[in-house]
Chain A
Amino acid sequence: MTADLARASAVVEALSAAWTVYNLYPDPASQSAFVRVADTLRQAIGDRDLSMEVGPTGFLIDGEEIQVARGAAERLVKQCFVHNMEVLAFSGLPSDADIVTFLSVLSKDEEDLRGEGGIGAILAKEGISNPAVVTRSLLSSFGEPVETVERDVGVQAVMSQGSNPEEFARSLLEEAGGDRDLLGTIFHDRYRDVFSRVDEKDVSGREMVVTAFVDAFFYFDEGSQVAVLGGFLTGQEDQVDRVFLDQFAGNELAILAPQLDSRGFSLLLDYARIATDQIDKRPEELLGLLESPEPVRSARELVATRVQERLADLEGQMPQRQASASLRTQFPDPAKYFYETLDTFRGLLAVEERDDRFRRLMRVLTGKISGSIRRGRYRRAELWLRAAVDHPTYAAERAAEVRDAISQAGAPDVLEGLIAKLADDDQTEAPKRLLSILAPDHIDVLIDMMAAEEDRARRRTLLDVLGRESARDPRHVIRRLDDERWFVVRNLVIVLGRSGNTTCVPAVRRLLAHHDHRVRVEALRSLSSLDSGSMGYFGEALSDSNESVRQAAIAMLGARGTGESDSLLIGALWSAHLDTDEKERIIRVLGERPSNDAQQAIESMARKRFTLSAKVRQLRSAAREALEAHR
């Protein structure tokens, strides 16, 4: 055994003994046994440095295993090995406290050590440099699962350096040779270079790279940190640089703010201001800290203090008012939820600029209107509708889309619901208004409903609705006058008659020639109301082949009661197209007319002396009765 091996053997023995004592007692430093083994260890180390490699089963010097009798040594070396120690070295004599701290770190769970950056990092944090350790470089660090992705060698190197950020920081400092500006450049360039080498999809790889650099950053002195930060602040518009900057809490950057030069300070403010729009809003805090005149202490401590201070401020600001009491006065009224929802819908219409999404809102609108009607919530349906059309919040060119969406709400079952509601109670205003809005785009549907409707009340409602629509625009109804079903045409003629729209007259007049007399009768009635000036078609109707038409014509001429209508009736008394009963009816009508022409015609009929036919006698009797009644 060489002298070095023998010395190392004594060191390992003593350290193993210390390890055993450490594990036996809760407060090992106060144990005399520990003090003794610590002295033994120091004696074994002597005045020369000692460096040992850590193997899986024992410590080694230059590849040769150090022979130790104690079983504790085996447990010690295993513990060192699982913590990825490659080298354990003594340079000088460690104090009792150094040894206890080293062993306490060594005793930690592997996971915990990794989570805190590895044994090297923790010892550095604890200020322990003797013994010193060198850790093995691992591809997998910080408890991350072993990655299967292929990574660039440079990336792997940084990742393994990341497990010992202090060492990584030191290597960068050495490379810069103490020149802070050069360090800033090296750090910035290296970071960008390594980041760019990680595959975009390798998210955990990128995160590990960023973490390695960020952690190393904190091992620099403040002057070096400022130098490094400057490069990133200058490049803050670049995504890769931003990733680095975004890892810092605002207050961490704020600590460095006073040391930045004016350009750096200005850039830092820019970063904070721009980032204020970000989700996290952390940089708001940064700005607040930058504005704060007090020296920046531990950031978290500061925030906690500020919370308390601000609470006190709030107390001062609102001495009479508790927040919850104030909130109670603002409670939302559930009755207003609906109106607030409408506001939100209008807000959505105002901000939505994408065509497909605006169409989706239109589908929502359609659904809300029709859904409300189906549930019998007519007022709600109307309000949905008005939310879209009253004082539009959307661009004018969207108006057609909105109209179309509203129109889509008029599904047949929706319209039926409205008609049924109005038929039951025609005093409800909301359904009436809804129909007036929905109907114009659904005239054909309403006509079909009318054609199929068996319920009288509902049919009457449909006639009214269509009549109102035709008053505005009869074209849809007129187009349907060619329907083959006579009853449909008859109802449409009624609709046109009720519309009062004189532009319908030509269309209705054409129906005086309709093959079905029921249509011709309704056409006469409609014309009677639509075209008060002209009566030629009544005269023609007196010659109609159908009795109902002729009787309708007689009745309507009688109701007119003008000279012209009297003349037409008087003329019909001598017409061969009318039978005796119809002429008798004319006589009764004329008998009630005060005009001379009417009276003369009746008198003339009454004066007939020679009457061979029974029909003429019947008419003469009627004329005499009419004269008698008139007197």
Chain B
Amino acid sequence: MTGDQRARQLLKDLQALAKQMKLYPTGHPTTGEALTAATESAEGLASGAGGEVVMSLLTDSFYLDRTLLAHASLESSALLREMQRRGIESITFLSPVAGADIADLGAFVADLSGDVPAESTVRLNESPYSKSDLETDSSSARLRRSYTRSLDVLRGVAGALDTDEPIDLSVASWAVEQLVEQTISQPAASLLLSTMKSHDEYTFFHSVNVCILSIALGRMAGLAGDQLKVLAIGALLHDIGKIRVDSSVLQFPGRLDQDQWKQIKLHPQEGAASIMAAAAPGQEIAATVAFEHHARFDGSGYPRVTRREHDLHFFSRLVATTDTYDAITTRRSYRRAETPSSALGVLLKGSGTFYDPDFVRSFIELVGIYPPGSLLLLDGGEVAMVTQTAEAGDTPDLVLVKAGDGTLLDEPEPISAADRTILDHVVSGNVGVDPAALLEKVGVIVQPV
């Protein structure tokens, strides 16, 4: 495991521990298990870093020493806020990490105690790094913040739906406003960030990705201002009905039987009804997007849609395109991710039947044959990542992320695609590269869509 992966695991374990401690005392078996897991993760992290490691919290991000934990910051944003609320600015882990010290930390995070012993193997706010060491106000940080907020919106909406409480879409409106702004100002970076995946929170990450892709596509088509915002709300919430679908069906390992499939097919109407109930005037069209995003261009999908005007709504056709693209490029339960080019192939195959050909074409114009974040296998066995969509007939901007001998590069190196042969697209999970995590390192060119 890399340091980043260990840190992600530790944060997940700490979150689980704090949650568990709120329910049961330390002596309880399940709390004990959570404590053991968190202690092992912390020890793995500290010993793997040479005996001491500092995890800092600043603005919306976790840092491992000076390195931004991009994925973890998004994944564990709730824990981040909770820790910040408790005044934690940094946590230093010293190997060998003691279970009792992790228990103290868990209790502190869970608001069950007021402090952590000063001389323990887990120390709070003793970071040697200053704020200036940890860059937080970069354009990419702002983009990540927008992503996090959108994730939080979805988590909130899902929580409300889960408990049958009314959902509040005013926060969704605010969050997508930020995302629209960031996607317009940093299109390439946004597209790169939209390769972010999460197995645990597949629907949420997928929805934010679809939102970003939809904003970019809408912008490219010429939409502006309020229309983009309304589109973004629809895109962000398009799959929210899945909250109502039994998770065992969503994560079912294989082809669904008739009953399971019936359940899945209900998610558009579930989502549409929930959005419609909560949406303020002007936002209600988001329900249409949720309702129609699987209806297919030729009407052969689900549910059967009958409209006053013949076609599916413009926004629905747009989101159907971006939704398919992101779904195919994402690994889900028992499903391998496909490469971006495979996803584009599927879109093209369905162009004119399942998908609006104009949107398919525009989407390909937007992301190119090699979308930002695509990983390409080069003739020397290296793996390169696309940072910028190529103009027609041109080659994409590449950075080398993995050497021919399989070594992951600490710092991606720009290379010219012109004198290299691209052998194949590869799936990020298969080569151990998380394109979205490289956002800060590759410094993609900011160029309005």
Contact = CB atoms under 8 A, between A and B. Distances in A.
B269 A341 contact: no
Contacts of A111: 1-2, 432
A351 B269 contact: yes
Interface residues of A, number: 80
Interface in B41-81: none
A328 B349 contact: no
Contacts of A304: 341, 345, 369, 425
Interface string B303-330: 1111111010111000000001001100
Contacts of B277: 360, 363-364, 367
A233 to B, nearest CB: 13
B190 interface: no
A327 B357 CA distance: 10
A242 B362 contact: no
Given A242-B254, A340-B307, A347-B305, A327 B362 contact: yes
B344 interface: yes
Interface in B240-291: 251, 253-257, 261, 264, 269-270, 272-273, 276-277, 281-282, 284-285, 287-288, 291
A347 B287 CA distance: 11
B225 to A, nearest CB: 10
A357 B273 contact: yes
Contacts of A279: 264, 327
B253 A207 contact: yes
Nearest to A307: B344
A243 B358 contact: no
Given A242-B254, A300-B342, A323 B334 contact: no
B290 to A, nearest CB: 9
Interface string B206-243: 00000000000000111100110010000000000000
B85 interface: no
Given A275-B255, A307-B364, A330-B314, A282 B346 contact: yes
Contacts of A341: 276, 284-285, 287-288
Given A246-B335, A339-B308, A311 B345 contact: no
Given A278-B256, A323-B365, A347-B305, A109 B407 contact: yes
Contacts of A284: 346, 349-350
B298 interface: no
B314 A331 contact: yes
Interface string A192-204: 0000000000010
A37 B449 CA distance: 59
Contacts of B307: 340, 343, 347
B119 interface: no
A368 B283 CA distance: 13
Contact of A280 (B253, B328, B348, B350): B328
Contact of A323 (B254, B311, B313, B358): B358
Interface in A182-241: 203, 206-207, 210, 239
Interface string B391-417: 000000000000001111000000000
Interface string A235-260: 00001001101110100000000000
Given A324-B222, A332-B227, A210 B334 contact: yes
A242 B315 contact: no
A83 B424 CA distance: 28
Contacts of B314: 327, 330-332
Nearest to A352: B269
Interface of A: 104, 107-109, 111-112, 115-116, 143, 145, 203, 206-207, 210, 239, 242-243, 245-247, 249, 274-275, 277-282, 284-285, 288, 298-301, 303-304, 306-308, 310-311, 314, 318, 323-324, 326-328, 330-332, 334, 337-341, 343-348, 350-352, 357, 360-361, 363-364, 367-368, 372, 375, 377, 380, 393
8 contacts: A112-B406, A278-B256, A282-B338, A314-B357, A330-B311, A331-B314, A334-B227, A337-B284
Given A249-B336, A328-B221, A361-B273, 5 more contacts: A311-B361, A314-B357, A345-B276, A347-B307, A350-B304
